[in-house]
A and B are shown apart, each in its own frame.
Chain A
Amino acid sequence: MADQQTEYVTLVSSDGFEFKVLRSAACLAGAIKRMLDPTSNFAEAVSNRCVFENINGVVLEKVCEYLYYNEKHKESKDVPDMDIPPELCLELLMAADYLDV
């Protein structure tokens, strides 16, 4: 199991919510890609599980939505905006910067 590249990875929020996300989508976030890099020897690369102590479940859910949104529009030029709830905007701002996305 250790060196295996699973199709899905698990993203865990600070308050314990778990999100199973396609690896290809998750790796669109630079920080997650680095964590899961098999050559990095990070624990996350082994467990295929990333825990974010600074991102809560509501925000992480939105991040996951964005990752899928980005992957979905890989080929298209006419990308509609993803909806961002104003009450989450600053937390998402910090999370986006942290995750490189």
Chain B
Amino acid sequence: MSQEQDHDLPEPPSSPPFFPQHSLSFRKKRSHSIYSEAAHTSSDPPVFSSDDPPEAEGLENYAAHRKKRKYRGTWWSHELVVGTRNIKTKGELSRNVDSGVWLASDDTQDSLPDATTLLNHGVQHEDPYSTIEECADEEAVNITSSIAPSYISQDDFIAQQAIECYLELGDERIDLSDLSLSSISNATLKSLHSLIRNPRITNEAPSPEHYESLTPFLQLFLSRNALRTLPFELWNLQNLSVLSLRNNKLTELPSCIAKLHNLIELNLAGNRLRWLPWELLRLVGPGGKLRRLNVRPNPLFEGIEFEEVSTVIVDITGMTSTVDYLKDKLDIARQESVNHRQLVSSDNLTERLEKLEKQCAWTEKLCNVFRSRGEKGLFDSAYSAVRHCGESSSFQDRVSTVGPAQTHAPYNYHPAFIASTPVTFFRFDGTLAPYSQTPPTALPLDVRHLPASLLGSVAPPPTTASIYAPSLLDLAFRVSTQHLSHAQILSLLPSDTPLHLLQVLDAAENVRKTNGSAQQDCSACGRPFVIARTEWIEYWHCAPDTFCCPTDELFLPFLRRGCSWGCAFDPATDELYGHSELADN
């Protein structure tokens, strides 16, 4: 096909060509595209085409051109990964078949192609006049999936087909919306990962600047599927700039999302989230790039209910007038309660008074945070910029306008700590400590209102042991899950292993599935743990790039988990900024 491939011919593979002849022929049957909106551009094989005139030396054109080469590189890297059993080109395939030498190999383990390689081969082996539309053809999906290896789920096969098309097109907007996916595997997402990393390992050893220009600002849209959990490879897509998980069935977002430090837009709307991971706050403010955060609707915990106000202008002036307004309402309500003290129905009034007092206290606290920051000059003319352009563009899945040019918005919006729920303590084995209340994450689904105190301080429980040292059980769990798989541990443990240990193991396995490791990092001290010893919810104001904030988004619940009891007494709320600034340098 091309010289680059020819000179890249490998040593003769040691196992037989795995790609069967008949699958080449069925690929020719494809005719139209279900992804036509993404794939309509090209009637030439896009891999080898160049829309850009060679003399156009602008950075964009250069980058676009490089991208195409990079995607071919992806295919090579797959070749490297899957080893010598692959066939590089059509010409080579026929040679292989003619020689018959490798067909005699008894390497049966490699005889089943994995789907990614299958797809890559499908593309590479197409006739010169074939088009990219063919690769995305619905008919092809059906035919191919019928011969797909049984260990690839239908969901993954569909997702991989779609991803492959976007990669071939050089499109960094990977749209996997509306595919009815109920799960997506790590292997499927890994193809995106290798795509990003590829420039580093290809031919001409690019310099760091080189790498930057090649870096696609990947956007991944998984909206309107049926995802309940997310594969941990997602958190390794460090170049992800836009991630939409809108309208899925997610119940928890893992703290690993903080690894996506290039994230600009995150859409979580329409899921089953009751809290957000506290680590998400690291993506906002000085160390992060997150500019758009969509969280409603979700059944999030609420610390207070706003009845008097529906939206708030989130600057000093707006907050001050909101506080004044609420205080007026409170004064009126107090007056009423004095006047109606003798009435039987004063219960309602008392309740209303309490609610108003809370609203006043929370908004006033936020207002004070704004004031203290205003003195430091954080809030200046940037506001007018936001006022003029920020609010006019809304977060929409398909018409996202955020790109590399807008990553460095002039306006850094710092999250502000407002209130904390009481801390739940767990014993060394993960069971509830005496006098501890039900942890937020175990509350029944109908509990939406979760009160919190503006004062975050907690009294340490009386104990003779070190309240900071990890338990021996947790140390042993950490080493076990590091060195052994879940199944191995289960098979090695004695048959009379207590039930609560097996429950810890299962929970650790669930964490591993979504995080990639059974260990989590303590949100207070950063040390790893398997068994959480403390858990609580903090309400933060976090509305990046929002000028006019609905009151139900003014304070969002963030879950914190600690590795030791001591970690709850000094949760180092302010260190959020410390961490961010460190990460920035």
Closest approach, in angstroms, between the C-beta of A77 and any C-beta of chain B?
A: 5
Alpha-carbon separation in the docked complex, A48 to B301 (Å)? 51
Given contacts A63-B472, A96-B471, contact A28 B465 (CB under 8 A): yes
**Complex contacts, A63 vs chain B, CB 8 Å:** 472
Listed stretches B191-199, B221-229, B488-496; interface member? B488-496
Alpha-carbon separation in the docked complex, A84 to B527 (Å)? 16
Residue of chain B at shortest CB distance from A85: B479
Alpha-carbon separation in the docked complex, A28 to B472 (Å)? 11
Q: Mark A10-22, 1 if CB is under 8 A from B, else 0.
A: 0000000000000
Interface membership of B112, Cβ < 8 A? no
Closest approach, in angstroms, between the C-beta of B520 and any C-beta of chain A?
A: 15
Closest approach, in angstroms, between the C-beta of A75 and any C-beta of chain B?
A: 8
User: A94 to B469, Cβ gap below 8 A?
Assistant: no
Given contacts A89-B480, A97-B429, contact A27 B464 (CB under 8 A): yes
User: A101 to B472, Cβ gap below 8 A?
Assistant: yes
Closest approach, in angstroms, between the C-beta of B493 and any C-beta of chain A?
A: 6
**Complex contacts, B382 vs chain A, CB 8 Å:** none
**Complex contacts, A58 vs chain B, CB 8 Å:** none
Interface membership of B82, Cβ < 8 A? no
Alpha-carbon separation in the docked complex, A96 to B501 (Å)? 11
User: B497 to A94, Cβ gap below 8 A?
Assistant: yes
Interface membership of B17, Cβ < 8 A? no
Select B475's contact among A24, A74, A82, beta carbons within 8 Å. Answer: A82
Residue of chain B at shortest CB distance from A87: B483
Q: Mark A40-65, 1 if CB is under 8 A from B, else 0.
A: 00000000000000000000000100
**Complex contacts, A2 vs chain B, CB 8 Å:** none
Size category, A interface: 20 to 34
Alpha-carbon separation in the docked complex, A89 to B464 (Å)? 25
**Complex contacts, B489 vs chain A, CB 8 Å:** 90
**Complex contacts, B480 vs chain A, CB 8 Å:** 89-90, 93
Closest approach, in angstroms, between the C-beta of B544 and any C-beta of chain A?
A: 32
User: B469 to A73, Cβ gap below 8 A?
Assistant: yes
Alpha-carbon separation in the docked complex, A96 to B429 (Å)? 9
CB neighbors of A among B213-269 (8 A):
none
Select A90's contact among B468, B475, B478, B492, beta carbons within 8 Å. Answer: B492
**Complex contacts, B469 vs chain A, CB 8 Å:** 69-70, 73, 79
Closest approach, in angstroms, between the C-beta of B174 and any C-beta of chain A?
A: 39
**Complex contacts, B428 vs chain A, CB 8 Å:** 96, 100-101
User: A90 to B472, Cβ gap below 8 A?
Assistant: no
User: B468 to A94, Cβ gap below 8 A?
Assistant: no
User: B479 to A86, Cβ gap below 8 A?
Assistant: yes
Alpha-carbon separation in the docked complex, A16 to B465 (Å)? 28
Alpha-carbon separation in the docked complex, A30 to B464 (Å)? 11
Interface membership of B384, Cβ < 8 A? no
Closest approach, in angstroms, between the C-beta of A21 and any C-beta of chain B?
A: 14
Alpha-carbon separation in the docked complex, A95 to B476 (Å)? 10
User: B466 to A74, Cβ gap below 8 A?
Assistant: yes
Given contacts A70-B469, A73-B469, contact A92 B476 (CB under 8 A): yes
User: A93 to B501, Cβ gap below 8 A?
Assistant: yes
Alpha-carbon separation in the docked complex, A71 to B472 (Å)? 13
Give the B-binding residues of A (Cβ under 8 A): 24, 27-28, 63, 66, 69-71, 73-79, 81-82, 84-86, 89-90, 92-97, 99-101
> Ordered nearest first, which 8 A-B pairs have the shortest CB separation?
A93-B476, A96-B473, A96-B472, A89-B479, A92-B476, A89-B480, A84-B479, A86-B483
A-B contact pairs, 24 of them (CB 8 A): A28-B464, A66-B472, A75-B466, A78-B468, A79-B468, A81-B470, A82-B470, A82-B472, A82-B475, A84-B476, A86-B479, A89-B476, A89-B484, A90-B480, A90-B489, A92-B472, A93-B501, A94-B494, A95-B472, A96-B471, A96-B476, A97-B429, A97-B498, A101-B473
Q: With A74-B466, A84-B478, A89-B484 given, can you name 20 additional A-B contacts, CB distance below 8 Å?
A: A24-B464, A28-B465, A73-B466, A76-B466, A81-B475, A82-B472, A84-B476, A85-B479, A86-B479, A90-B480, A90-B484, A93-B476, A94-B493, A94-B501, A95-B472, A96-B476, A97-B498, A101-B428, A101-B471, A101-B472
Give the A-binding residues of B (Cβ under 8 A): 428-429, 464-466, 468-473, 475-480, 482-484, 489, 492-494, 497-498, 501, 525, 527, 566
